[in-house]
């Protein structure tokens, strides 16, 4: 199972772009990369998922280099409400061992 | 409609008591989980069930016993509660999304043991 490493915390200001990188050096060929967001007092929720190159949705973009040993979650123009913990997970459809790492605590300041 | 619902949301109980947390998902998923999030905010997997069968049983005291009567339900029973059991317990379910898994979490159950 691919282990992930993320920065423990990050600070940003409203309106800035935030990039959170996750390392997963031993990612397997079938593994996908999924990012979750957790607000205080709530369960984590799905943000974005990808296999390679770039994926974009209404919330974020996910950049995955060719070697897939890392990925970067990009949040455009963050607001105070983006303050949360962000987790990256690596796994495939037949892997039910969904273990979360420590996550990155993002604090957005006014 | 709540996709993954768990009850109770808050539970305060005394040491030594036995309590249960119920979880139901209406998403038609085959896999369900219990996670524990302690005061340090680490989210640790406790159990994983696939089609009512236990897949993952982490290093969890045997005072914790999951029960899956059908694939839409995964309940957590805790015997002889201890102070260290105080935490937020999240139920979750997942489905394959293409070639990956996507997890859907409940809102959490805040357990306080006094």
Tokens standing for A103? Answer: 């996550």
Collect all residues of chain B within an 8 Å Cβ-Cβ radius of residue A95.
101
Count how many pairs of residues, chain A against chain B, have C-beta atoms within 8 Å. Answer: 79
Q: Is B64 near chain A, with CB under 8 Å?
A: no
For residues A17-22, give the mean pLDDT. Answer: 97
- Alpha-carbon dihedral B3, B88, A98, B61, rounded to 10 degrees: -130
Q: What's the sign of the alpha-carbon dihedral A17, A34, A106, A19?
A: negative
Residue A94 near residue A49, CB atoms below 8 Å: no
Element (DSSP H or E) covering residue B37:
strand B31-37
| Position A2 confidence tier, pLDDT thresholds 50, 70, 90 | low
Model pLDDT for residues B23-36, shown as the tens digit of each residue: 999 999 989 999 99
Contacts of B92 (CB under 8 A, 6+ apart): A43, A98, B4, B32, B33, B34, B35, B103, B104, B105, B106
Model pLDDT for residues A51-97, shown as the tens digit of each residue: 999 999 999 999 999 999 999 999 999 999 999 999 999 887 666 67
pLDDT at A30: 86
| Position B57 confidence tier, pLDDT thresholds 50, 70, 90 | confident
Contacts of B61 (CB under 8 A, 6+ apart): none
Model pLDDT for residues B61-82, shown as the tens digit of each residue: 999 999 999 989 999 999 999 9
Model pLDDT for residues A22-59, shown as the tens digit of each residue: 999 989 888 899 999 999 889 999 999 999 999 999 99
Collect all residues of chain B within an 8 Å Cβ-Cβ radius of residue A41.
108
Identify the closest residue of chain A to B95 by CA–CA distance: A93
Which phi-psi region, left, alpha or beta, contains residue B99 (left: φ > 0; alpha: ψ -120 to 50)?
alpha
- C-alpha distance from residue A103 to each of A6, A8, A67 (Å): 6, 6, 22
Q: Is B103 near chain A, with CB under 8 Å?
A: yes
């Amino acid at each position: 199972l691919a282990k992930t490493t993320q920065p423990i915390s990050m600070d940003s200001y409203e309106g800035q772009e935030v990039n959170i990188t996750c390392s997963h050096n031993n990612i397997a060929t079938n593994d996908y990369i999924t990012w979750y967001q957790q607000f205080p007092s709530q369960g984590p929720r799905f943000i974005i998922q990808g296999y390679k190159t770039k994926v974009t949705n209404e919330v974020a973009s996910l950049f995955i280099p060719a070697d897939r040993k890392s990925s970067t979650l990009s949040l455009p123009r963050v607001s105070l409400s983006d303050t949360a913990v962000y987790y990256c997970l690596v796994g495939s459809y037949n892997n039910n061992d969904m273990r979360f790492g420590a996550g990155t605590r993002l604090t957005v300041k006014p | 409609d709540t996709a993954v619902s768990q009850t109770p949301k808050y539970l305060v109980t005394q040491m030594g008591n036995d309590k249960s947390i119920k979880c139901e998902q209406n998403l038609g998923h085959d896999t369900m989980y219990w996670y524990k999030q302690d005061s340090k905010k680490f989210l640790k997997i406790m159990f994983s069930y696939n089609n009512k069968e236990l897949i993952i049983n982490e290093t969890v005291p045997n005072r914790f016993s999951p029960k899956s009567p059908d694939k839409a339900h995964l309940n957590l029973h805790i015997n002889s509660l201890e102070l260290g059991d105080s935490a937020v317990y999240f139920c979750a379910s997942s489905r394959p999304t293409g070639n990956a898994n996507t997890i859907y979490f409940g809102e959490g159950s805040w357990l306080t043991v006094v």
